[in-house]
Structure 1
Amino acid sequence: MGRFLGLRGSKLSMATIILVVGPAYFTFGYNLAVAGGLLTLESFVKQFPQMDTINTTGAQNKLNSNIQGAVSALFTVGGFLGALSTIPLGDLLGRRRIIFLGSAFVVIARLVQGCGTGAITATVPVWQSELSGSAHRGSHVVTEGLFIAAGIAASQWIDLGFFFIGSSSVSWRVPLIIQVPLPILVMIFVFYMPESPRWLLLKNHHKEAREILSILRDEDEHSAAIQREIAEVETSLEMIGSVSRWDVFKMGEKRNFHRLMLGIGGQSFSQLCGVNSITFYATIIFQQRLKLDAIKARLLGGGMTTIQIVGALAAVLTIDRLGRRSLMLMSSAGMCITMAIITGTTSTTNNQTALIVAVVCFFIYNMSYTFGFLGLTFLYSTEVAPPHLRAKISGFSNCMTWLMNFVVVEVTPTGFDNIQYQYYIIWAVINCFIFTTVFFLYPETNGRTLEEMDEVFMLSNNIFESRKIATNLSKREASDHESMTEKVTAQQVDELK
């Protein structure tokens, strides 16, 4: 068997998705949501009475809500620390080593598990975007969202299955450990996959980088396409020697800080839209807030998270056609509208029609979210980043994902307890803000090489111009091509005359 399991080109890209990206992000989604379905189990409440918000009232219920939020958010604290660690370590150790170490941490305990997951989510998008060509980079990287959605859905259905075990602690212990084989699978196969050619060039491993790039593109090592791509990356890396750790916070010629804020903003939006106030607490919302019985609550929770797969699959199929901006705009608009409707329909639990509309809106909200914000923002933060700062910007952006995730998961039990259905108004307003921000500030990155984005920002003088320039550059190139075609045609006519 040859290098990388004897695979080349698209087959090798598919192998990285199936053997590394898939299990890593399935595990991420699973661990993100599995605890939410266990919080109302009889055996879980008996084991951890301080987190019981079902059988308590008054001051005790408020205290338990705070404890429940803090414990549930522990995973996200670990995620923040793990993502933070990739800022100094990402370029030092390389992409594959970080993924391996992160997967090892995922196997251990919940806080450490969060650290491992944070390191993985900050590294895998960088690794995958650096392996992929510009034509299919979007659909390759956004598959991460598809696997996250599948993991979330699986956790809900597994929670439902173990609910029928009854009062045994097996009903919550097994769901918490059932995902362990998947990160082990990642640890086994990650070193059978190629290292990032950009990282290898950064470390002056030119021969190996050229060989890997030729395998990934299924081209001869000395072909013009490989030579050109190597030259582009080397040009972008020439300035590495003069980079300080603080350059990411400086504007400079390439507007580094502007690009950092776009990455941070996008990944913050993926949590500030309020998704984990619903996904993480799906069972509690249906059982405790909408007054449904335990089985119906879990069935709806499973169905609601399963619909996320539809949205994620739609993103995979359309992202390289419609572009990044279109998906984010449609997604935020859908979330804003459904949150506004949910606010009105959950103001009473006595109206059966309003209850049905609320459940439908929960489903539409989840599908809208995965269409534009589940996997896409991981991709976007790597695409807007300058090549020499990509690992650092991805690390900072992922830190904000986890920090905002922590905030949402932490405050949601208290929010429901204090303002009840009006809590959804907050998310409707925030999603309206997200739509406006993306519309005015976020440039399109679709179809451009990672190096080409430098030109967009180098021509920008302020935060509003990058969006316009990204559009105008595309039109200018098309018009230049048309003008050139017209000149050639005229020249050929003259020659014929």
Structure 2
Amino acid sequence: MAALGNLRGRALSFVIGVVCALGFTLQGYDQAVANGLLTLDTFVKTFPEIDTIHTTGAQKEHNSTIQGTTVAIYEVGCAFGALSCSFIGDKLGRRKTIFLAGCIVIVGVIIQATPFALAQLIVGRVITGLGVGAFTATIPMYVSESVKAEGRGKMVLLEGFFAIGGVALASWLEFGMYYVKNNSANWRFPIAFQSFFALIVTSCILFLPESPRWLVRQDRMEDAAKTLARLEDTDGDSEAVALGLETIQQSLQDDHGSERSHNPFAFNDTRNFHRTMVAIGVNVIAQMTGINIITFYSDTIFETDLGYSGTTARIISGCLQIWQFLCAGLAVLLIDRFGRRRLLISAAFGMAVCQAGLAGLSSDLSNKSAASASLLFYFLGFFCFPIGLFLVPFMYAAEIAPLQTRAKVAAMSAGANWLFNFLLAEVTPVGFDNLGYKYYIIYACISAGGCVIFYFFCPETKGRSLEEIDEIFLQSKNAFDPVRIANEMPFHTDALATVEEKATKQHAEIV
């Protein structure tokens, strides 16, 4: 581990991205792990209160409500874990917050993997969620503040790639454990396995440098200079580092010059309220496109609604996750080529088409051909969502927030993402029971509305430094201005991207 402390330049940025991405593996893994457990005989025998496979009528309806709560309570823990970062994020710093979150995850996984009563399982899911929620609120912000502008999108989307890899890993691991009959290891081991990722993150994160922007805000200028020097692989006394520190300090002074700049809901020159609402709104819309209907309940849908066997349902779910994993890899390549705005709009439009198609084909489940054809739209949904709606909202919230309120805005945005994730997991079993195919129409309409909102209110941030993004909002007079200003504003050199070029040019002018 000591070798991590000697890394510099691109190698350091890469390791920061990978370690943080392993943290997001937990986000995907724990979201999906419950899906394959709900229909296991050993699982429902241990927790008969959530059995919807061997029950009918009023009992099934009652159990489906408890099942939805058990699955969704994890999201509540995540929401509170994310929101807690608005209080502790700036006090502890990015690294220590991530370390603390990893320790909480480990405790939660131990409790979650060893229960013999539903209450213990629920408590374990909540505690695990607290840690994972803190990961999602802090990691994108830490990466965004620590890597260069031209590679920021790729590094953050790498987290999405790993997270969906976690979903795929959970699906196929559970498929293999499905053949371990009459032994609770077939559900305990998949739950326990996720602690492996938390152990790696907690073992490595404190050997990596703190965010230079957080250090500047804490007035730890010497430490910030050392960190910038490591990230740029240059000397701490170089003009490049000095110019980088000056740029970050200037951004902080601009924030300090605005009234109530520490309040994320302030109506001030830096447009805190506007930026907070956009950050939260993007995350809410991403969840309300309804993709996690499939993530949480695909095995149940395929078995009970489409009539597939347990084996076939799990194979289809596993293939969906591999497909989504590949699409998440494509997103890493597209994010800095096409930008955040285009991917958000395109993904929301695709989800609208997907949900509308599922509504139509699921309207007559007695028609087995139409029901089977609905698989096409499941695959379409798992193409669109990772491209523009999985990690982009987390990253976008961290990018558009002012430095003074970034931890609070990132925490609230991640919290909103998890709360609506909880809403989706909670109401889906009841929604299908009461609305059937019409349940999909709700999410088709929300996705279509998301396209419009993204088009009018989300400026492009691709290739811009965090200080340049500040300037976009500083120049805005109303909610519609940022998109126009982002399109018209010339690109400036990023203080953390090619700072050496700026220093060289400045030196040449002096000479």
Distance 1:187 1:241 in 2: 38
Distance 1:286 1:203 in 2: 53
Output the amino acid matched with 1:364: L
In structure 1, the partner of 2:122 is none
Output the amino acid matched with 2:363: S
Aligned match for 1:200, one of 208, 215, 222: 215
Output the amino acid matched with 1:390: R
Distance 1:453 1:245, change over 3 A: closer
- Alignment of 1:347 with 2:363, yes or no, is yes
Structure 2 residues without counterparts, runs of 5 or longer: 109-124, 494-511
In structure 2, the partner of 1:210 is 225
Aligned match for 1:362, one of 348, 366, 378: 378
Distance 2:145 2:262 in 1: 23
Q: CA deviation at 1:272?
A: 0.9
- Alignment of 1:457 with 2:473, yes or no, is yes
Q: CA deviation at 1:166?
A: 1.5
Q: CA deviation at 1:75?
A: 0.7
Q: CA deviation at 1:329?
A: 1.1
In structure 2, the partner of 1:257 is 273
Q: Secondary structure at the match of 2:466?
A: coil
In structure 2, the partner of 1:231 is 246
Q: CA deviation at 1:242?
A: 8.0
Segment of structure 1 superposing worse, 216-225 or 328-337 = 216-225
Which deviations, in whole Å up to 9, do the C-alpha atoms of 1:3-27 show, x marking residues without a partner?
Answer: 7342111111111122x21221111
In structure 1, the partner of 2:64 is 65
Segment of structure 1 superposing worse, 347-356 or 58-67 = 347-356
Q: CA deviation at 1:475?
A: 8.6
Distance 2:463 2:445 in 1: 32
Q: CA deviation at 1:243?
A: 7.3
Distance 1:200 1:436, change over 3 A: same
Within 5 Å, give how 1:204-353 maps onto structure 2. 204-238=219-253, 239-240=255-256, 247-353=263-369
Contact 1:309 1:367 in 2 (8 A): no
In structure 2, the partner of 1:435 is 451
Distance 1:228 1:321 in 2: 28
Which deviations, in whole Å up to 9, do the C-alpha atoms of 1:240-263 show, x marking residues without a partner?
Answer: 598758621112001001000111
Distance 1:476 1:36, change over 3 A: closer
Distance 2:260 2:482 in 1: 25
Distance 2:219 2:476 in 1: 32
Q: CA deviation at 1:378?
A: 1.1
Distance 2:2 2:303 in 1: 54
Distance 2:256 2:174 in 1: 48
In structure 2, the partner of 1:102 is 101
Distance 2:208 2:235 in 1: 19
Q: Secondary structure at the match of 2:364?
A: coil
Q: CA deviation at 1:394?
A: 0.4
Distance 1:348 1:474 in 2: 54
In structure 1, the partner of 2:500 is none
Which deviations, in whole Å up to 9, do the C-alpha atoms of 1:360-397 show, x marking residues without a partner?
Answer: 21011111100001111111001111111111110111
Q: CA deviation at 1:222?
A: 3.5
- Alignment of 1:16 with 2:16, yes or no, is yes
In structure 2, the partner of 1:186 is 201
Q: Secondary structure at the match of 2:296?
A: coil
- Alignment of 1:397 with 2:413, yes or no, is yes
In structure 1, the partner of 2:7 is 7
Within 5 Å, give how 1:37-48 maps onto structure 2. 37-48=36-47
Output the amino acid matched with 1:83: A
In structure 2, the partner of 1:385 is 401
In structure 1, the partner of 2:504 is none
Output the amino acid matched with 2:129: G
Contact 1:123 1:391 in 2 (8 A): yes
Distance 2:196 2:210 in 1: 23
Which deviations, in whole Å up to 9, do the C-alpha atoms of 1:112-142 show, x marking residues without a partner?
Answer: 1100011111001111001011111111111
- Alignment of 1:167 with 2:166, yes or no, is no
Distance 2:260 2:103 in 1: 31
Q: CA deviation at 1:439?
A: 0.8
Q: CA deviation at 1:356?
A: 3.2
- Alignment of 1:79 with 2:94, yes or no, is no
Distance 2:47 2:491 in 1: 60
Distance 1:386 1:475, change over 3 A: closer
Contact 1:98 1:123 in 2 (8 A): yes
Which deviations, in whole Å up to 9, do the C-alpha atoms of 1:90-130 show, x marking residues without a partner?
Answer: 11000011000100111122211100011111001111001
In structure 2, the partner of 1:128 is 143
| Normalised TM-score (structure 2) | 0.90
Structure 1 residues without counterparts, runs of 5 or longer: 478-497
Contact 1:213 1:226 in 2 (8 A): yes
Q: CA deviation at 1:224?
A: 3.5
Distance 2:410 2:196 in 1: 27
Output the amino acid matched with 1:330: S
In structure 2, the partner of 1:448 is 464
Q: Secondary structure at the match of 1:136?
A: helix
Contact 2:259 2:268 in 1 (8 A): no
Output the amino acid matched with 1:194: P
Output the amino acid matched with 1:78: G
Q: Secondary structure at the match of 2:467?
A: coil
Distance 1:131 1:475 in 2: 20
Q: Provide the identity percentage.
A: 39
Distance 1:255 1:244 in 2: 11
Distance 1:166 1:348, change over 3 A: farther
Which deviations, in whole Å up to 9, do the C-alpha atoms of 1:436-467 show, x marking residues without a partner?
Answer: 11011111111111011122111111111111
In structure 1, the partner of 2:509 is none
Distance 2:40 2:438 in 1: 27
Contact 1:4 1:194 in 2 (8 A): no
Distance 2:382 2:341 in 1: 19
In structure 2, the partner of 1:34 is 33
Output the amino acid matched with 1:90: G
Which deviations, in whole Å up to 9, do the C-alpha atoms of 1:398-425 show, x marking residues without a partner?
Answer: 1101111110000001001111121111
Contact 2:359 2:438 in 1 (8 A): yes
Contact 1:456 1:466 in 2 (8 A): yes
Contact 1:81 1:115 in 2 (8 A): yes
Which deviations, in whole Å up to 9, do the C-alpha atoms of 1:284-341 show, x marking residues without a partner?
Answer: 1111121111000000111111111122111110111111011111111111111111
Q: Secondary structure at the match of 1:53?
A: coil
Distance 2:132 2:491 in 1: 40
